[in-house]
């Protein structure tokens, strides 16, 4: 639309003014906000933008490969960091949700800083490096007008770089709502998959395993999640459903029967919700046929999972994610 074309032109102009001849770096999460912000900056300053994508090993089935292919098509300079082992080692033995989140956030900043050192290690004294963030208007409002809540918050202590290197935030989406960001993404010609991606938390499947996060459990959850997403897409409900986390109750077992044997496996919880902005949400009345298909397939196809349950709690009092 005309309006979005104006937004693109206006923002590209503003970014050029702010960054001048400088260089910028952006952490891509795989989500639409950081992708659109980075695409705007790339349009403004070209290959003086470097994008970094950290694979923390807790993405969904095939997601990192997909994100990498999509991003390689869009971004000229992309640094993909494989940090699975680092994250899983840091999470070993941890079950408390906030501790998990803190560890994941901490490892993320460490990894991103290492990438910055690689990319900007030769930065001149006194040079300002620009940090691109996909902060949206609701983030600005929620955090009282300060820096956004998305991706990285604490960037005042960037280790490893010269002390007199300054960081300055570039936040081209600060005035926009989610649907406007999607429209800008379409205007910029980003792939539809990227533009219409449902929300997915930064800590990934790590906060959808209730209990310790291990590679084995992640693989189990990845399989169940892939089936649930495939069936939801087949049903044509992707845009109606805000998101549908699949949660693995990894420390719970229940008895079942399959073929002519007793099973003693784990339950998963489907958490389909409808929402406008994730601040509140309602549990989605999924059609019975869709639930049936998902349940049958998960219990047949994923060894170790022998029960599928559904969460019928609204937000509030429940949150969308379980951790």
Nearer to ligand XMP, 27 or 294 (CB): 27
Window 11 to 40, contacts with ligand XMP (CB under 6 A):
none
Indicate whether 243 belongs to the interface with ligand XMP (CB under 6 A).
yes
Q: Within a 13 Å sphere around the CA of 173, how many CA atoms are in the beta-carbon half?
A: 29
Query: Any binding-site annotation on 57?
Result: no
Query: Any binding-site annotation on 134?
Result: no
Please report which helix (H) or strand (E) contains residue 168, including its range. strand 166-170
Nearer to ligand XMP, 3 or 154 (CB): 154
Indicate whether 319 belongs to the interface with ligand XMP (CB under 6 A).
yes
Q: Which residues make Cβ contacts (< 8 Å) with residue 306, sequence separation at least 6?
A: 254, 256, 258, 263, 264, 265, 266, 267, 299
What is the distance between the alpha carbons of residues 195 and 188, in angstroms, rounded to a whole number? 10
Query: Any binding-site annotation on 34?
Result: yes
Closest distance of CB 136 from ligand XMP, Å: 11
Please report which helix (H) or strand (E) contains residue 79, including its range. strand 78-82
Closest distance of CB 320 from ligand XMP, Å: 3
Query: Any binding-site annotation on 314?
Result: no
Query: Any binding-site annotation on 143?
Result: no
Nearer to ligand XMP, 293 or 311 (CB): 311
Nearest alpha-carbon partner for 40 in 193, 196, 179, 188: 188
- Counting every residue written for the chain, the total comes to 323
Indicate whether 172 belongs to the interface with ligand XMP (CB under 6 A).
no
Closest distance of CB 45 from ligand XMP, Å: 25
Any idea what DSSP says for residue 197?
P
CA distances to 94, 200, 222, 310 from 307, rounded to whole Å, are 25, 24, 16, 10
- The string of DSSP codes covering 260-311 is TEEEEEEEEEE--EE-SSSSSBEE----HHHHHHHHHHHHHHSTTEEEEEE-
Indicate whether 148 belongs to the interface with ligand XMP (CB under 6 A).
no
Closest distance of CB 178 from ligand XMP, Å: 11
**Token pair of 206, please?**
């790590």
Query: Any binding-site annotation on 79?
Result: no
Query: Any binding-site annotation on 30?
Result: yes
Window 179 to 208, contacts with ligand XMP (CB under 6 A):
199, 201-203
Closest distance of CB 319 from ligand XMP, Å: 3
Cβ–Cβ < 8 Å for 200, 229: no
Residue burial 63-84, b: 16+ Cβ < 10 Å; e: rest: bbebbeebbeebbeebbbbebb
Nearer to ligand XMP, 147 or 278 (CB): 278
Closest distance of CB 291 from ligand XMP, Å: 21
Which one of residues 90, 119, 237, 278 is an interface residue with ligand XMP (CB under 6 A)?
278
Provide the annotated binding site for ATP. Answer: 29-35
Which residues are near ligand XMP by CB under 6 A? 199, 201-203, 243, 278, 315, 319-321
Provide the annotated binding site. Answer: 29-35
């Amino acid at each position: 639309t005309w309006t979005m074309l104006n937004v693109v032109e206006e923002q590209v102009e503003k970014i050029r003014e702010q960054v001048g001849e400088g260089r910028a770096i952006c952490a891509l999460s795989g989500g639409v906000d950081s992708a659109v912000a980075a695409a705007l900056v790339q349009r403004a300053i070209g290959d003086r933008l470097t994008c970094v994508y950290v694979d923390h090993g807790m993405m969904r089935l095939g997601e990192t490969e997909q994100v990498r292919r999509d991003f390689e098509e869009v971004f000229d300079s992309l640094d993909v960091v494989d940090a699975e082992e680092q994250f899983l080692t840091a999470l070993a033995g941890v079950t408390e949700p906030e501790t998990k989140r803190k560890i994941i956030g901490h490892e993320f900043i460490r990894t991103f800083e290492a990438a910055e050192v690689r990319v900007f290690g030769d930065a001149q004294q006194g040079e300002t490096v620009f940090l691109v963030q996909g902060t949206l208007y609701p983030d600005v409002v929620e955090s009282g007008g300060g820096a956004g809540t998305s991706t990285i918050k604490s960037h005042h202590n960037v280790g490893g770089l010269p002390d007199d290197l300054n960081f300055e935030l570039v936040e081209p989406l600060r005035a926009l709502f989610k649907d406007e960001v999607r429209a800008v993404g379409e205007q910029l010609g980003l792939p539809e998959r990227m533009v219409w991606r449902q929300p997915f938390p930064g800590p990934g499947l790590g906060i959808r395993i209730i209990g310790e996060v291990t590679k084995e459990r992640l693989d189990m959850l990845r399989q169940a999640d892939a089936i649930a997403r495939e069936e939801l897409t087949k049903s044509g409900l992707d845009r109606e459903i805000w998101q549908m986390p699949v949660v693995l109750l990894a420390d719970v077992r229940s008895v079942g029967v399959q073929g002519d044997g007793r099973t003693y496996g784990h339950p998963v919880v489907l958490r389909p919700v409808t929402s406008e902005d994730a601040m509140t949400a309602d549990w989605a009345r999924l059609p019975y046929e869709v639930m049936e298909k998902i349940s049958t397939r998960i219990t047949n196809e994923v060894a170790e999972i022998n029960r599928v349950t559904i969460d019928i709690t609204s937000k509030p009092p429940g949150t969308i994610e379980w951790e």
